[in-house]
Amino acid sequence: MNITESAVLEALKTVKDPDLGRDIVSLGFVKNIQIRNGQVKFDIELTTPACPVREQLKEESRLKVSQLPGVSDVQVTMSSQVRGRANFEQAKVLPGVRNVIAVASGKGGVGKSTVTANLALALAKTGAKVGLLDCDIYGPSIPMMLSITERPTVIDEKVVPVEKWGLKILSMGMLATEDTPIIWRGPMVAGILQQFLFQVEWGNLDYLVMDLPPGTGDAQLTLAQMVPISGAVIVTTPQDVALLDARRGLKMFQQVNVPVLGLVENMSYFVCDQCQKKHAIFKSKGGEGVAKELNLPLLAEIPIDPDVVKGGDAGNPIFIAHPESKVALAYADLACAVASSKKEASESKLHLKW
């Protein structure tokens, strides 16, 4: 029997992306259909390499097409094309950067920089092009966490970020010595942040992950106003004092019209080596409760692990040092949740995924 392209498309219209609630044909995912002697080949191009249902869509698509009369073999090739803000290539701010992800916290000491570094590494592991910008001018910790000692270079009056583990990285910590305090007033901080955005050769990136300083001060407001942020991730710990400040951070982003993708509860629990039981060292379900209260998803619960501290101090983050650990797998899930998120601000209409 003759197998037609329209018949293949009709079969694939029954395959739906569970996150988006629409079929993969109407979403424009199906590409390059080839039919020859009973063999059918086609591509499924997803909007993110971190799609958590990637294999499910592949197998369901293969099965639906294989049930067509006359089909003897089906080959499905999975690919991805990360989408982002409209006309990003023509944008004056960060041209070539599809999505900007801000990682923030209402207070210090919740492990925000650790979350940022491992989230960026997890996104890069999926195949995405990722940059990491350390915006904490007064307390830059990313260079130490990633064991970066070299300084960025300058070519044609543009700063070129340092590259490591598939990331393009820039931090104030690369420009100052370890024992030199940064004693700057607000306008000076705003000035260096503008240079990080306008005078750096970031190139083409799927995601630029920004590690914001803790709190809701000048630096956060400067970045929120200058940069088309696709979405913010709020990091907290289970304690009430951290959750109180997380609420403040959320309200700041709401006031400047930045979409909040959700919360990450860091240091959520500890798994005993002997009994494999979860123990809530600080408090149980604090992040989950606040997420429900604020009508936001809880993107991840990151467990406590001594290897996180060892890796951070040694410049060997846990996602690299122990990729099969519970913490690393939690970061992989966080990367999928962030890449699959869909949020919009009331005015900017920015989306990470359609």
What's the pLDDT tens digit per position in 39-61?
A: 999 999 987 776 778 889 999 99
Residues 6+ apart with CB under 8 A from 7: 68
Residue found under tokens 């990729």: 323
- Model confidence at 162, in pLDDT bands (50, 70, 90)? very high
Of 17, 200, 224, 215, which Cα lies nearest the Cα of 106?
Answer: 215
CA distances to 270, 281, 283 from 239, in Å: 15, 10, 6
Question: 278 - beta bridge partners?
Answer: 271
d(CA 172, CA 122): 23
Q: What are phi and psi of 239, to 5 degrees?
A: -70, 150
pLDDT 10s digits, 220-260: 777 777 788 888 898 888 776 667 777 777 777 877 778 88
d(CA 94, CA 114): 24
Of 85, 60, 87, which Cα lies nearest the Cα of 74?
Answer: 60
Instruction: Count CB-CB contacts under 10 A for residue 177.
Output: 6
Domains of the chain, residue spans: 5-80, 88-339
- Model confidence at 350, in pLDDT bands (50, 70, 90)? very low
CATH 3.40.50.300 fits 88-339, yes or no: yes
Whole-structure pTM value: 0.78
Q: What are phi and psi of 160, to 5 degrees?
A: -105, 120
pLDDT at 216: 62
Is the pLDDT assigned to residue 5 strictly greater than 50? Answer: yes
Instruction: Give 161-180 as a DSSP string.
Output: -EEETTEEEEEGGGTS-TT-
DSSP state of 74: E
Strand-strand pairing, 158-160 and 153-155: antiparallel
Is the pLDDT assigned to residue 265 strictly greater than 80? Answer: yes
Superfamily of the domain at 5-80? Fe-S cluster assembly (FSCA) (3.30.300.130)
